[in-house]
Structure 1
């Protein structure tokens, strides 16, 4: 989400527009405002303690954030990312008489449903809030057709107010090594890479079991880049225990969160990138790997079917059986010509997905709403979630 917000803002500024990004102050040292580049300003609003919080705790400070936002002069368009921001901003946008656009980036699922249905609701009001935002926002921007279907199907958002705006990728930052040679030296089997938050939804346990099942003579190491999620205490220990059980502990590297610059080097050096998530709204990691000229093996879940063209830019696997994944990994490791074909096609695909294209699609949404007037043609103040008896 942060990558999408930042790059779309920069691209909008490049097209001549002024963008302000507002977020909660999470450290006392953060200034009131920062100029990220000409046309893009980052502002920190005081809502709750100026410290990092568990994700679910942000719900307690939505009202305070909304009050701080309402004290600001109005913008032409208010675009909220994630449900916390939407709950705070939609009433303010209504008060200002300007359109409100909502992006979710992930949508909660009931705890009783399979992980393939989506992220768990870590905040008590999330499922009710997301449904309210889907019904009341003037436009709903989805990152993929898969997410759009969830917005209309699960949340009840109107199809005519839901639009897909695909992300872009920085193909200069994420670029292949030259020459593009994916075969590892005889004495170095290299590594395959997973980049994700460390939580069950991301399927890292499948990646460990799959790479461990690759024949020992060609088995690469597995590097996992990403922060441990505070909402799943003990999950890192679970991953280490899985690796111990399958005899893979010495080849598993849990390397923690990495900077964008460091990630470019990790992608470029990987022989393969695995995206085994149970659910993804799109799969930006797969697109960054494609731009880096590295084949992707992804689960057939959510937007990953759109991020990876099966058999063209990577492989999309319907099965979650580790042996099926191990076979696919081994096939690409031992067939450098096939891996290179996928890599070249992936890079070509990524070159066509620019952030300026993504920003231009957003502008079409904004201009359409402004042409309709306040609230995008919708009348009256937004009812609160508690007022809507038909919200599931």
Structure 2
């Protein structure tokens, strides 16, 4: 085992989605952003990081250097083409075989349950620590959708519970996710650490002047039912006409939900606002930052979120957020201070919250300033230091399993 202060060789496993892909495209979302930015921040401190993902295109190289010290490696497992997220369970064993040829690593950190199922047996075989992050956790079909995601494939619920119990540490992105890992999956609380994400406050920054007129609202997400985009459309439709902003939808449908965009267009047409709902597709980080800072308000109507990274990016952009009272969104948005949290899925309640902000420039300004101030406490260097403290606790002789309190701050 290396000494905790020596440079580490770290494997970050992201089997089903590449952290090199633009968030909002296919299955790329907040997890991709977290993995890439934490990797880059750790590499800037002298560590060597491999990000390991499945090859989903024949054009993908074997490896690609993202920044000095960070290499993205594409492993052959299943067809070299995009596939539905749930189908990745069939590629776990083959991915583990490819993973076994790489290294050596001081520890393996898996992101999402597919990755953990591939990597945990290999970590055990090599005698190195395994860290698990879920980013989303399945809920039983008998529970309301607001309780979490559905299990896209047969082994998910059992697999997540096994990983929560057997991994050396579970890193959650919020206190809400940590509670879910303990209560729903049976993870040991003393093996769960909360490491909040960060935001690039230079890229995501407020506009020089507040937007004027009706303007637009933004919802940025993978286009799938879990993200509650139908509620966003219905809420905007219920805002009084003189105040009603356009709705800009940034993101793309994954292969699991090919017809979802047309369903949303039909819904908008049914409410008579099809001309005011614009689907702009997945955005680069720079384009998303520009889009957010020009918005009057950002909507996050998800049924479930472990944190809600877009809420933090909106806050850094000085834009008030209206968010669902779901999971980590209660931590990402401070109700009445940086935005409004709606404990209802009634479009009328959402329209009232949106209208409250749009109709009161003073309130919007106060929310904007407080949001930016709070976002400045979240950055990727701080997030990576918290993560490295978890790694150090696992690698330090005689203290494995005793996770640092600072990682939960």
Q: Aligning the two structures, in what range does the TM-score lie when normalised by the shorter sequence?
A: over 0.9
The equivalent of 2:234 in structure 1 is 209
Tell me the TM-score normalized by structure 1. Answer: 0.92
Indicate which of 367, 371, 391 corresponds to 1:366: 391
Query: Displaced runs of 4+ in structure 1, greater than 6 A?
Result: none
Answering whether residue 229 of structure 2 is matched by residue 229 of structure 1, we say no
For 1:58, what is the secondary structure of its paired residue?
helix
The equivalent residue for 1:51 is 81
2:32 maps to 1:5: no
Aligned to 1:196: 221
Residue 316 of structure 1 aligns to a residue in which SS?
A: strand
CA RMSD of aligned residues (A): 1.4
In 2, the alpha carbon distance for the partners of 1:271 and 1:73 equals: 48
Residue 376 of structure 1, CA deviation: 5.1
Q: 1:52 to 1:229 in 2, by over 3 A?
A: closer
TM-score (norm 2): 0.89
Question: In the comparison of the two structures, how many residue pairs are matched?
Answer: 372
Q: 2:186 corresponds to which residue?
A: 156
State which of 115, 122, 134 in structure 1 corresponds to 2:152.
Answer: 122
Report the counterpart of residue 310 of structure 1 in structure 2: 335
Tell me, which stretches of 5 or more residues in structure 1 are unaligned?
A: 378-392
Per-residue CA deviations over 1:332-382 (Å, capped at 9, x if unaligned) read 1111111011001101111110111110111110010001469759xxxxx
Asked if structure 2 preserves the Cα contact closer than 8 Å seen for 1:268 and 1:292, the reply is: yes
Any idea what SS the aligned residue of 1:151 has?
A: helix
Q: Are 2:35 and 1:22 equivalent residues in the alignment? A: no
User: Within 5 A, what are the aligned runs for 1:65-76?
Assistant: 65-76=95-106
Alignment partner, residue 138 of structure 1:
168
How big is each residue's C-alpha offset from its partner over 1:84-136, in whole Å with a ceiling of 9 and x where there is no partner? 11000001111111000000000111222111111111111111111111111
Distance 2:123 2:312 in 1: 33
Would the aligned equivalents of 1:175 and 1:292 in 2 still touch at CA under 8 Å?
Answer: yes
Is the 2:323–2:342 Cα contact (8 Å) retained in structure 1?
Answer: yes
Per-residue CA deviations over 1:311-333 (Å, capped at 9, x if unaligned) read 11111111211111111111211
Provide the residue aligned with 1:390 in structure 2.
none
